[in-house]
Copies of this chain bind each other. A is one copy, B any other.
Amino acid sequence: MRTISENRCFGGVQGVYAHKSDATDCEMTFGLFLPAEAEEEQVPVLWYLSGLTCTHENAMTKAGAQKWAAEAGIALVFPDTSPRGDGVADDPAYDLGKGAGFYVNATEAPWAPHYRMWDYITDDLPRVLFSAFPLAEDAQSITGHSMGGHGALTIAMSFPGRFRSVSAFAPIAHPTASDWGRKQLGAYLGPDAAKWAPHDATLLMRKRGFDGPVLVDQGGSDQFLDLLKPEALAEAMAASRQNGTFRIQKGYDHSYFFVSTFMESHVAFHADALLA
């Protein structure tokens, strides 16, 4: 692992690091905010998964999360959204290939060799983080925005016991029924829709739900409402009697102005679970 940058930030350190990933078979870059408490003890960790076109950097610079994480004494992890590098397959569209890994393990050509973001986020990166930094493996929560909200919800529900809480900002909530989903899941996993189901938050919510609290915020003026399908997830949460909160935030769109506005609330939600 090599250090790309470290900046003092809200009394802690905002770092950027790169490492060779076995899962994606390429060098991966991630951001990690460590609060001041990490100088003396292990701290809880909140994962933030980013959306289409993002790298590790967008949320790190625009979501305004460090302030709240510093106050709570919680670390923040900002992974990249896909494999990277010259030898990695790509597509001209913004919503397939680089920047659009969709948090799955691809089985189809040309994606299979590197597009294994599910294993990267759930296995490879955790091993790096918990061996190299003072992070408490038994105090993890996860959140994300858009495609990253999809990733956060599907991963949280697939690893019972690992995350104490999950939240999402405007998640891609029902990808098997949306053009943000059918296109990518078809490309990465092939045409058999049965293989897509484990990567659909609404279907997972109907089937098993999450063993802790869930918080979802959705902007009421989001320009992508037709693709996100929040109503499907809201219905599934209520039907499953999920311990959780689903909020429509009137007037807000899909941007980081929306994310940053409600970040304090999300960090506080996770802090309640992580510091309990």
Contacts and interface: CB of A to CB of B under 8 A. Distances in A.
* 4 closest Cβ pairs, A-B complex: A9-B257, A7-B257, A8-B251, A8-B252
A13 to B, nearest CB: 9
Given A7-B253, A8-B221, A10-B260, 7 more contacts: A7-B252, A9-B257, A9-B258, A11-B261, A14-B257, A61-B256, A64-B67
Contact of A261 (B9, B219, B255): B9
Contacts of A8: 219, 221, 251-253, 257-258, 261
A208 interface: no
Interface in A48-89: 61-62, 64, 66-67
Task: State the number of copies, please.
Answer: 2
Contacts of A64: 64, 67, 260
A260 B62 contact: no
Size band of the interface chain A makes with B: 20 to 34
A58 to B, nearest CB: 9
A32 B158 CA distance: 43
Q: Is the interface of A mostly helix, strand, loop or mixed?
A: mixed
From A64, A219, A252, name the one whose CB has the most chain B CB atoms within 10 angstroms: A64
Contact of A61 (B7, B10, B14, B61): B61
A7 B258 contact: yes
Contact of A10 (B67, B219, B261): B261
20 contacts: A7-B253, A7-B257, A8-B221, A8-B251, A8-B252, A8-B258, A8-B261, A9-B257, A9-B258, A9-B260, A9-B261, A10-B260, A11-B261, A14-B257, A61-B61, A61-B62, A64-B64, A64-B67, A66-B260, A67-B261
Interface string A214-228: 000001010000000
A62 B10 CA distance: 14
Interface in A230-271: 251-253, 255-258, 260-261, 264
